[in-house]
Amino acid sequence: WAGLAAVAPALALALAVSVWRRRPRPVREVLFFPSQPVCTEALLSEAVGPGAVTRPCRCPLPRGDCSFSRLLRHLLSARRSLELCLFAFSSPQLAQAVQLLHRRGVRVRVVTDAQSMETRGSQIGLLRHAGIQVRHDQESGYMHHKFAVVDRRMIITGSLNWTTQAIQNNRENVVVVEDHEIVKAFLDEFERIWEEYDPRNYIFFP
Amino acid sequence: WAGLAAVAPALALALAVSVWRRRPRPVREVLFFPSQPVCTEALLSEAVGPGAVTRPCRCPLPRGDCSFSRLLRHLLSARRSLELCLFAFSSPQLAQAVQLLHRRGVRVRVVTDAQSMETRGSQIGLLRHAGIQVRHDQESGYMHHKFAVVDRRMIITGSLNWTTQAIQNNRENVVVVEDHEIVKAFLDEFERIWEEYDPRNYIFFP
Dump the DSSP string for A87-121.
S-B--HHHHHHHHHHHHTT-EEEEEE-HHHHTSTT
**Dist. CA B111–CA B101, nearest whole Å:** 17
Strands A146-150 and A133-136: unpaired
**Dist. CA B107–CA B91, nearest whole Å:** 20
Of residues A89, A81, A158, A160, the one with CA closest to residue A127: A89
Q: How confident is the model at residue A151 (pLDDT cuts 50, 70, 90)?
A: very high
pLDDT tens digit sequence for A11-39: 888 888 887 777 789 999 999 999 999 99
- What does the pLDDT average to over A188-194? 98
Kindly report the CATH number that applies to the domain delimited by A28-42+61-200: 3.30.870.10
Of residues B72, B148, B78, the one with CA closest to residue B110: B148
Q: Which residues of B lie inside 8 Å of A (Cβ-Cβ)?
A: 3, 6-7, 9-10, 12-13, 28, 30, 32, 34, 85, 87, 137, 139-147, 157-160, 165-166, 168-173, 175, 177, 179, 181-182, 185-186, 189, 193
pLDDT at B206 over 70: no
Query: What's the longest Cα–Cα distance across chain A?
Result: 85
- Sign for the CA dihedral angle at B32, B33, B37, B42 comes to positive
Considering chain A, what percentage of its residues have pLDDT values greater than 90? 70
pLDDT at B92 over 70: yes
Q: Name the residue in chain B with its Cα closest to that of A3.
A: B6
Q: Name the residue in chain A with its Cα closest to that of B169.
A: A141
**Exposed, middle or buried: residue A2 (CB in 10 Å: 0-12, 13-18, 19+)?**
exposed
**Dist. CA A18–CA A179, nearest whole Å:** 21
- Identify the bridge partners of residue A110 per DSSP, sorted by sequence position: A84, A134
Contact B32 A189 (CB under 8 A): yes
**Dist. CA B128–CA B15, nearest whole Å:** 50
* Cβ A174 vs Cβ A157: under 8 Å: yes
- The pLDDT score that the predictor gives to residue B9 is 83
- The SS3 of residue B11 is helix
- What does the pLDDT average to over A59-83? 95
Contacting residues of B for A193, CB less than 8 Å apart? 171
Amino acid at B174: V
Contacting residues of B for A171, CB less than 8 Å apart? 85, 137, 139, 141-145, 193
- In Å, what is the CA distance from A110 to each residue of A100, A152, A178, A190, B29? 15, 15, 20, 9, 24
Q: How confident is the model at residue B3 (pLDDT cuts 50, 70, 90)?
A: confident
Amino acid at B197: Y
Stated pTM of the model: 0.89
- What does the pLDDT average to over A120-145? 96
- Identify the bridge partners of residue B28 per DSSP, sorted by sequence position: B177
Domain boundaries, chain B: 28-42+61-200
**Dist. CA B143–CA B112, nearest whole Å:** 6
pLDDT tens digit sequence for B114-124: 999 888 999 99
Q: How confident is the model at residue A202 (pLDDT cuts 50, 70, 90)?
A: confident
**Exposed, middle or buried: residue B142 (CB in 10 Å: 0-12, 13-18, 19+)?**
buried
Query: What's the longest Cα–Cα distance across chain B?
Result: 84
**Dist. CA A192–CA A132, nearest whole Å:** 19
**Dist. CA B64–CA B81, nearest whole Å:** 27
Higher pLDDT pick, B2 / B195:
B195
Query: How does the average pLDDT of chain A come out, rounded?
Result: 93
Q: Residue A184 catalytic?
A: no
**Exposed, middle or buried: residue A83 (CB in 10 Å: 0-12, 13-18, 19+)?**
buried
**Dist. CA B171–CA A12, nearest whole Å:** 47
A200 secondary structure, DSSP code = G
Contacting residues of B for A7, CB less than 8 Å apart? 6, 9
User: Buried b vs exposed e over B162-198: b needs ≥16 C-beta within 10 Å?
Assistant: bbebbbebbbbbbbbbbbeebbebbeebbeebbeebe
pLDDT at A206 over 70: no
- The pLDDT score that the predictor gives to residue A26 is 95
User: Buried b vs exposed e over B16-43: b needs ≥16 C-beta within 10 Å?
Assistant: eeeeeeeeeeebebbbbbbbeebbbbeb
Contacting residues of A for B10, CB less than 8 Å apart? 6, 9-10
Peptide bond into B34 cis (omega under 30): yes
- Identify the bridge partners of residue B173 per DSSP, sorted by sequence position: B32
Q: How confident is the model at residue A8 (pLDDT cuts 50, 70, 90)?
A: confident
- What does the pLDDT average to over B50-77? 89
**Dist. CA B65–CA A191, nearest whole Å:** 23
Strands A81-86 and A146-150: antiparallel
Q: Name the residue in chain A with its Cα closest to that of B179.
A: A28
- What does the pLDDT average to over A99-127? 95
pLDDT at A56 over 90: no
